[in-house]
């Protein structure tokens, strides 16, 4: 290592970033004990991560590394960037080890680490595809071959391994690889390649390597890749003008590439304070959120190039909304929250976690969605693995990191970003003070949240008032009503001399709500979506037999109530209410088009409608699913 840096298992280490407003909390400082997230994290640790390692072995991904190190004489198998799946898996396993170490997990980590380290070339290069007969092709097609993308995922895994175990062996491999990249890429006048990868990732990785080692040349290289880049990632040249990042005023191109790049740029901004980067990020975020965001929080509407479409182009059944893109959005908003301390980023982070990331993984932790449509005829089902398996280990690493997203620290303050039952022991770096908190809640099923302060002292607690809670939120501090107005989409600041045992009670009403989309979003015109608390709902055929879900109509008077069903879908609150079924009139038989007439519509009949959380769809018998329902 280049410098002595304390080993703390933080996901994004802004602790010493001069332009970050909030600092991270280590993932092992937070213990979740809830019935929503912690069971998923347990499945992730005990089932998903070991099963993914088996898939990596069975599909030749790890054998590719043994081939590259000379241990096996076999042909390369799969896609040229398959190493990245191993690296993401390794990062997931490392973060899982940080909170729940076990001999079995340590054994798998050591196996993967050995195969990766053994294939490193003498000059630091690390990629199992570009060896032997392919060696001459290294770095010759950075737009499409994604060598820097693969390298970035390994560097992030190595940093996670170092922070989680305290071991430096993989960090040293990462430093040799980064040194080779620095020797290869840079200004053309220095005889280097003045270009960036078609798939951003290396930017985030180099900043985090800088944070882990204190070596400024890694930050300088990340800045170089941001400055030299033309375009937001892999794009169709015929459709989009390629230009420097700072000139973009909208998010375009491949959705994962776009948010991976903005995440890396945010990391660079947190270290440099470059105002031109901040301005560009704000413009791009606004465009994504106000004109290109699905009601799920998903991004990327087009199957063509897995890309963003035009503003308001948000089809439901053909929504691409890749799971990796949702994860990239979480990563970006996590970084923007640290940068600015603004609750709007925590709001979108939460919404995306529940409604765009979670659908990508089955309830048993063994199968995955690559695309996440908002309407389906029953044919779209999760798969155990993919030829391009970017999404499965990406989901695993996010779930493993999750405790690190719940809290942040500001100047002599704790920020509560997400809510779940559990406890936290948080160091306030500026004060040298330890804050111990215990949270009791059934969130997201119930909006009553109690935070008990277990340690006394003078510090602030910032509680997020979610943007979805537009009215009726209330707050009590040590038995007294909070004296300031609570603003949805902001943090409520409570600052006092705390006594051990003081309790804060936040109540967030959770009625069923109807959302309508912008009128320019043609696919959702005349339709509504149902939400309760932070969760989006959908209707599935299995709960609503006997009619075509496309014939459902929700009248303005329809009232929905929620009830908890502990045996359904691992325990969910369902929404139930009355709706109408209005099928097409008989005049449409054997016709696709006809002259517009004033023919009377068939008489509607009333049905009992059941809606379930969208994240849990497609875990039962195949059938129709709809998020957006006709309202007139």
DSSP state for residue 307 in the 8-state scheme: B
Distance CA 451, CA 94 (A): 30
Q: Are 575 and 594 in contact (CB under 8 A)?
A: no
Distance CA 147, CA 200 (A): 10
Backbone angles phi, psi at 275, to 5 degrees: -65, -25
* Residue 3: band (very low, low, confident or very high) from pLDDT cuts 50, 70, 90: very low
Question: Is residue 444 reached through a cis peptide bond, with omega within 30 degrees of 0 on the bond before it?
Answer: yes
Q: What SS3 class is residue 306?
A: helix
Question: 361 and 215, same structural domain?
Answer: yes
Distance CA 488, CA 534 (A): 13
- Please check whether residue 98 lies inside any domain of the structure: yes
Which pTM was predicted? 0.96
Which whole number is the average pLDDT over 574-580? 96
Tokens 């606004």 locate to: 286
Counted residue by residue, the chain has a size of 632
pLDDT at 1: 37
Mention every residue, 6+ apart, whose C-beta is less than 8 A from residue 604: 553, 580, 581, 582
Residue percentage of the chain with pLDDT more than 90: 91
Tokens 């997931």 locate to: 92
* CATH label of the domain that carries residue 450: 2.60.40
Q: What is the C-alpha radius of gyration for the chain, rounded to an integer number of angstroms?
A: 25
Tally of CA atoms within 13 A in the half-sphere of 580 that contains its CB:
17
Strand-by-strand arrangement of the 433-441 sheet: 30-32, 422-428, 433-441, 448-453, 503-507, 474-477, 480-481
Question: 602 and 457, same structural domain?
Answer: no
- Please check whether residue 340 lies inside any domain of the structure: yes
Number of domains within the chain:
3
pLDDT at 242: 80
Instruction: State the chain's mean pLDDT as an integer.
Output: 95
pLDDT at 509: 98
pLDDT at 42: 98
Distance CA 393, CA 91 (A): 9
pLDDT at 241: 64
Give the model confidence (pLDDT) of 292-336 as tens digits: 999 999 999 999 999 999 999 999 999 999 999 999 999 999 999
Give the model confidence (pLDDT) of 532-559 as tens digits: 999 999 999 999 999 999 999 998 877 8
Higher pLDDT, 245 or 555: 245
Distance CA 194, CA 185 (A): 6
- Please check whether residue 172 lies inside any domain of the structure: yes
Distance CA 226, CA 221 (A): 9
* Residue 598: band (very low, low, confident or very high) from pLDDT cuts 50, 70, 90: confident
pLDDT at 403: 98
Does residue 585 carry a pLDDT above 90?
no
Q: Are 426 and 407 in contact (CB under 8 A)?
A: yes
Query: Is 31 buried (19+), middle (13-18) or exposed (0-12) by CB count in 10 A?
Result: middle
- Please check whether residue 23 lies inside any domain of the structure: no
Which whole number is the average pLDDT over 375-389? 97
Which whole number is the average pLDDT over 62-70? 98
Question: 413 and 363, same structural domain?
Answer: no
Tokens 């990239």 locate to: 328
pLDDT at 278: 98
Question: 364 and 418, same structural domain?
Answer: no
- Please check whether residue 16 lies inside any domain of the structure: no
- Please check whether residue 11 lies inside any domain of the structure: no
Active site residues: 306, 390
Tally of CA atoms within 13 A in the half-sphere of 575 that contains its CB:
25
What domain range is 464 assigned to?
A: 409-507
Does residue 151 carry a pLDDT above 90?
yes
Tally of CA atoms within 13 A in the half-sphere of 170 that contains its CB:
29
Which whole number is the average pLDDT over 352-363? 98
Which whole number is the average pLDDT over 347-376? 98
Give the model confidence (pLDDT) of 10-57 as tens digits: 999 999 999 999 999 999 999 999 999 999 999 999 999 999 999 999
């Amino acid at each position: 290592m280049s410098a002595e840096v304390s080993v703390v298992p933080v996901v994004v280490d802004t602790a010493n970033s001069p332009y970050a407003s909030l600092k991270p909390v280590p993932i092992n400082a937070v213990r979740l004990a809830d019935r929503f997230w912690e069971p998923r994290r347990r499945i992730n640790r005990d089932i998903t991560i070991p099963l993914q390692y088996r898939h990596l072995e069975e599909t030749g991904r790890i054998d590719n590394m043994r081939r590259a190190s000379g241990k096996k004489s076999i042909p390369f198998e799969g896609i040229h960037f398959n190493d990245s799946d191993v690296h993401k898996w390794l990062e997931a396993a490392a973060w899982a080890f940080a909170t729940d170490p076990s001999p079995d997990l340590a054994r798998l980590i050591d196996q993967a680490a050995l195969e990766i380290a053994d294939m490193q070339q003498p000059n630091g290069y690390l990629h199992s595809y570009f060896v032997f007969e392919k060696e001459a092709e290294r770095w010759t097609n950075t737009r499409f071959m994604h060598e820097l993308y693969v390298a970035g995922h390994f560097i992030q895994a190595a940093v996670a391994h170092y922070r989680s175990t305290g071991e430096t062996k993989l960090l040293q491999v990462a430093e040799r690889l980064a040194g080779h990249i620095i020797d290869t890429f840079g200004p053309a006048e220095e005889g280097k390649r003045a270009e960036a990868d078609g798939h951003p990732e290396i930017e985030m990785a180099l900043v985090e390597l800088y944070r882990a080692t204190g070596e400024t040349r890694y930050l300088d290289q990340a800045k170089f890749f941001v400055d030299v880049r033309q375009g937001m990632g892999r794009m169709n040249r015929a459709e989009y003008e390629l230009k420097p990042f700072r000139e973009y005023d909208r998010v375009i191109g491949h959705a994962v590439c776009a948010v991976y790049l903005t995440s890396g740029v945010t990391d660079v901004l947190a270290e440099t304070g470059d105002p031109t980067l901040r301005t560009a990020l704000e413009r791009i975020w606004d465009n994504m959120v106000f004109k290109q965001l699905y009601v799920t929080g998903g991004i990327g509407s087009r199957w063509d190039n897995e890309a963003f479409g035009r503003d308001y182009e948000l089809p439901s059944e053909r929504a691409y909304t890749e799971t990796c893109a949702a994860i990239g959005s979480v990563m970006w908003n996590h970084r923007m929250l640290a940068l600015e301390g603004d609750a709007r980023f925590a709001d979108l982070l939460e919404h995306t976690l529940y409604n765009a990331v979670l659908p990508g993984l089955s309830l048993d932790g063994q199968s995955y969605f690559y695309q996440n449509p908002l309407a389906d005829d029953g044919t779209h089902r999760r798969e155990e693995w993919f030829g391009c398996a970017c999404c499965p280990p990406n989901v695993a690493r996010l779930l493993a990191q999750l405790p690190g997203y719940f809290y942040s620290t500001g100047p002599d303050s704790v920020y509560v970003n997400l809510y779940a039952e559990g406890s936290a022991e948080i160091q306030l770096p500026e004060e040298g003070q330890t804050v111990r908190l215990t949270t009791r809640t059934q969130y997201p099923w119930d909006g009553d949240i109690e935070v008990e302060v277990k340690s006394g002292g003078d510090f602030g607690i910032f509680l997020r008032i979610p943007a979805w809670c537009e009215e009726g939120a209330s707050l009590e501090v040590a038995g007294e009503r909070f004296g300031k107005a609570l603003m949805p989409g902001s943090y409520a600041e409570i600052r006092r001399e705390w006594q051990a045992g003081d309790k804060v009670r936040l109540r967030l009403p959770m009625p069923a709500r109807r959302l309508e989309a912008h009128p320019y979003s043609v696919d959702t015109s005349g339709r509504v979506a149902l939400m309760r608390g932070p969760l989006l709902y959908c209707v599935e055929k299995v709960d609503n037999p006997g009619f075509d879900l496309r014939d459902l109509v929700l009248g303005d008077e329809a009232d929905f109530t929620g009830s908890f069903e502990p045996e359904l879908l691992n325990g969910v609150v369902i929404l139930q209410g009355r709706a109408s079924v209005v099928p097409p009139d008989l005049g449409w038989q054997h016709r696709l088009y006809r002259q517009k007439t004033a023919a009377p519509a068939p008489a509607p009949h009333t049905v009992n409608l059941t809606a379930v959380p969208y994240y849990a769809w497609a875990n039962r018998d195949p059938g129709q699913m709809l998020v957006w329902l006709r309202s007139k």
